[in-house]
Structure 1
């Protein structure tokens, strides 16, 4: 087969190689090719280089063999080499039947040699000084991957190596520069977006990772996933990168309106569908259409930037206009000269460099915009500080007046409360005492009892006004001090079991007075009716399953107890205790049984204070006779 291919060489190839001067760079512009596309007939013949597989067999994978001739090299010539501007996708290169260069394994789509130029040194022992040497390039090609063979060049290494090095540096270091600039400005934009949540910074921060993914593809020969999925992913990344850059430029100009947002989402959906279908269905023309559509938002952004620059003549607007023109012009040039042209295999794309310049200019505009905003905010802050100082002075005067009025109002309310407590408590007891005296039929014991009750009410009113700072234990200790002599005088032993109680922030004088009256009512009933010898007073707190902290007060005696039904009919003592408990948001329960004593249990919410039910829990027992 190789002999047959050599017989197909055109006469022009013999003439061009024979006439080439010694020591000069030779352009190997023709080759005898044997092409085997999948799903189509094989083809053999002479092709002019560069030969682009996707142009000859769009949407088809296959194998290709290119046979070229290296002109005779005189003995003593400097070391020679072959420079391949582009060849792929997986490649083996033979010189005189010897394998000198390969990239990947033929048919293994994980490697793509077409991402950069290739260099192959050719030792003198493989070259003939009197006749041409056969150069054979074998390649396997995947559709849409720029497979085929660009025009190789053969000549002295000292002449060709600089050209190869420059092209490789352009592709590799250009990609590094774009990735680095995108990463740097993307991080800055993300930081600024995190500070003030302005969409213009968010668009740039989002576009940076997609651009980094697209241009970083040049930096490795073996992508992380297989073809064509990797190609579809890179196409989607490029589409999102370009659209987000256009959206960023429009937002920077304040033209990110509803129509722009709607068109943006439509274009994203269309571009993603075209990119995915072009590679997965092996239809490169769909991605060519997608690239053409990507020029539209660029043209729109440039026209908007140019119009704004013409109207405002501001440096920022002019810089934005220039920045938008750079990637638009480079993208249009690459689309025509590289994507559509057969010569595109040997041409360098300008879009990466244009993207890097655009990104750097956008980074400068972002920082300048942020600096101007910071200066404006600083001026606004200074103005606000001055106004705040003026308002503070006015508020200080108003606050002093309000404090004075509040103190006067609080004093008035406190006087009213004290008057009400004395009227309801001490006053009612004194009225009852006067009524008994007026009848003239009471003995001294009854008068003493009513006088003591009036005195207890007065003492409780005074005690409730003492500062306790939310400490209920202090209130209980004061009550114990008041009642201990009376209980001891009747021979009743008191067992006080008061734990360390939590602070009750809402413990007001009114609440203290109501608690004292409930406890006093309980003790009064014990003294009058219980015939008890021992009373246990306990106070503790617990946390029920429903949450919160509740304070529990219990007074239990070992007296004769009572019948619950009789307690309801005997007087208003129990009803008064229930009413007082409801007034402070507490729950009261009185349990009693004949011969088993009586227990008064009160629960008070400490924190949080739950809403009390409209009707308290029923109390089955009450003192046998009214107390006050």
Structure 2
């Protein structure tokens, strides 16, 4: 799915807002003929609580008035007065100050009609909203009237705007519009920046490799903090220094971060540039914290202004990047940056009195536009990354399926080879076992028969042993039989017949034997041969009368004990004949423990096999 064209959407939103502003402006111009706008006035610097007399040092000015403080005193009082005409004194008139930054008391013909907190020894004030007051009919008289305003300031510049006087119906509409654009929109912008910045930083913490997310989140968060501090209307003088320091820190930090972000966005790596910016930012903030308000003029006039070239340098890289890439996102970013930069230059010019415009700040309108564009761009990047991940996952899934098929085929081939090898090894083992057992006994019997040294009973006995050995191999290696108990039963049946034929008593005892004793055929064969060797030795050499075979089973082992009451023999590990040696070798092959002890009378053979 193709990602949405956010740059086009942002462009449509800008055009819609511009149309709204044009409509509002036309409406205001249409109604302005019924509203008197005062553009000239007089002012005097005075701390007097009452209006100075007409012969005082009043100075004529043009509104808006925006001039540096003439003295170094911290708190200075001002009086402003202007004249206006009223045709009908019975009609309610409304006074609209487009912005009364320093607050103050408003009088008409000497009568107080309203007041807003102004700076004093305990508080500092700075208002960013229009003021609207009703002039009571009792305070007016036909003809010329006078409006007076008194306030005190700490700011480096005096700011007093134009005054509109007219009917409430027209003034109320203008006031609501100004209130929204100068105050409500700023509150919305601040909340939006704080929330969006926090969310973006959380996303960046989860994905620290996305450097752009982190830089942009910090930019938005710093701007939200800066706007919040700037628009706090009343600040106690006890914390004024720290409040101002926080404002400078957030403002300069935003410029540093946005410059770094723009360079990163334009794929320009400038580590030295970033380090210089950070050092400049921290040094200026520390200087103000050390020297206090004595450094305020330097900080606002030179230090903050000195950040503009750095920012312009980053903006130039973005514009160059947009010109080279010619993508919607790059162009939208360039336009948003130019728009925000223009508003920031306007605010700086108003703050430093470079122009005689009303002290109205607009930068908070640029940041939401920039934020909207950036969210769209980052969302596009996220969707592109998501599409890339999906594509990679599809390719990976195809490769995994292919590898699975290859592994499955390889596994089948390995299993076939294992089966072939297992069958080959089993055949070799059976052949070796037949050769070493039955073959060897038959060959020995044949040689002795050819030399005529065997009597008939001896020959029959040897052939019987060969037959027993062959049956033992066949029983133990049956492919359908892995249980040792049936094989033991056949073996017991054959051995009991032989013992009974020569008059020996053979008894079998068992304890805790389960229903089945599953063993590998090779292990079962070795157990039977050890048991066969032990019983055969008793038949040949023990001269016993009674023989006991005992089987004891535990959850982890099987123990077989063969005991007789014969003459016994002397046990010598290295010279007990081939029979005992074969028994030990077979036990070692299957990891079993074989114990042989000879008593007077009798012999005992014990075999322990782990299950």
Q: Look up the match of 1:76.
A: 90
Asked if residue 483 in structure 1 is aligned to residue 488 in structure 2, the reply is: yes
Asked if residue 413 in structure 1 is aligned to residue 413 in structure 2, the reply is: no
For the aligned residues, what is the CA RMSD?
A: 6.0
Q: List aligned pairs for 1:34-433, cutoff 5 A.
A: 34=47, 50=66, 63-68=75-80, 76=90, 78-81=92-95, 83=97, 85-88=99-102, 93=105, 101-103=115-117, 113-117=125-129, 119=131, 121=133, 124=136, 135-137=149-151, 150-151=159-160, 156=165, 158=168, 164-175=175-186, 176-177=188-189, 180=192, 199-200=211-212, 203-217=215-229, 228-229=241-242, 231-253=244-266, 255-257=267-269, 260-275=270-285, 277-279=287-289, 282=292, 283-284=295-296, 285-286=298-299, 289-308=302-321, 318-335=331-348, 337-341=349-353, 346-366=358-378, 409-433=417-441
CA spacing shift, 1:245–1:449, aligned 2, 3 Å: farther
What is the Cα deviation at residue 181 of structure 1?
Answer: 8.0
Post-superposition CA distance 1:550-579 (Å, at most 9, x none): xxx322468889xxxx79766475665555
Asked if residue 535 in structure 1 is aligned to residue 546 in structure 2, the reply is: no
Q: Which has the larger radius of gyration?
A: 2
CA spacing shift, 1:271–1:538, aligned 2, 3 Å: farther
Contact 1:418–1:461 at 8 Å: present in 2 too? no
Contact 1:92–1:99 at 8 Å: present in 2 too? no
What is the Cα deviation at residue 357 of structure 1?
Answer: 3.1
Q: Look up the match of 1:506.
A: none
Q: Which moved more, 1:276-285 or 1:189-198?
A: 189-198
Aligned-partner Cα distance in 1 for 2:234–2:464: 107
SS in 2 for 1:492: strand
CA spacing shift, 1:497–1:412, aligned 2, 3 Å: closer
SS in 2 for 1:347: coil
What is the Cα deviation at residue 493 of structure 1?
Answer: 1.0
CA spacing shift, 1:312–1:32, aligned 2, 3 Å: closer
CA spacing shift, 1:87–1:572, aligned 2, 3 Å: farther
Greater RCO, CA 8 A, separation 6+? 2
Aligned-partner Cα distance in 2 for 1:227–1:592: 102
What is the Cα deviation at residue 162 of structure 1?
Answer: 5.3
Aligned-partner Cα distance in 1 for 2:584–2:413: 41
Asked if residue 30 in structure 1 is aligned to residue 40 in structure 2, the reply is: no
Post-superposition CA distance 1:515-555 (Å, at most 9, x none): 6567668877997899766533233xxxxxxxxxxxxx322
SS in 1 for 2:160: coil
SS in 2 for 1:121: strand
What is the Cα deviation at residue 151 of structure 1?
Answer: 1.0
SS in 2 for 1:420: helix
Contact 1:560–1:597 at 8 Å: present in 2 too? yes
Aligned-partner Cα distance in 2 for 1:599–1:229: 91
Gaps of 5+ in 2: 1-34, 49-56, 449-453, 497-506, 539-546, 565-570, 575-579
SS in 2 for 1:137: strand
Aligned length: 510
CA spacing shift, 1:214–1:580, aligned 2, 3 Å: farther
TM-score, normalisation: structure 2: 0.60
Aligned-partner Cα distance in 2 for 1:97–1:446: 145
SS in 1 for 2:512: strand
Gaps of 5+ in 1: 1-21, 36-44, 467-473, 502-510, 540-552, 582-587, 604-628
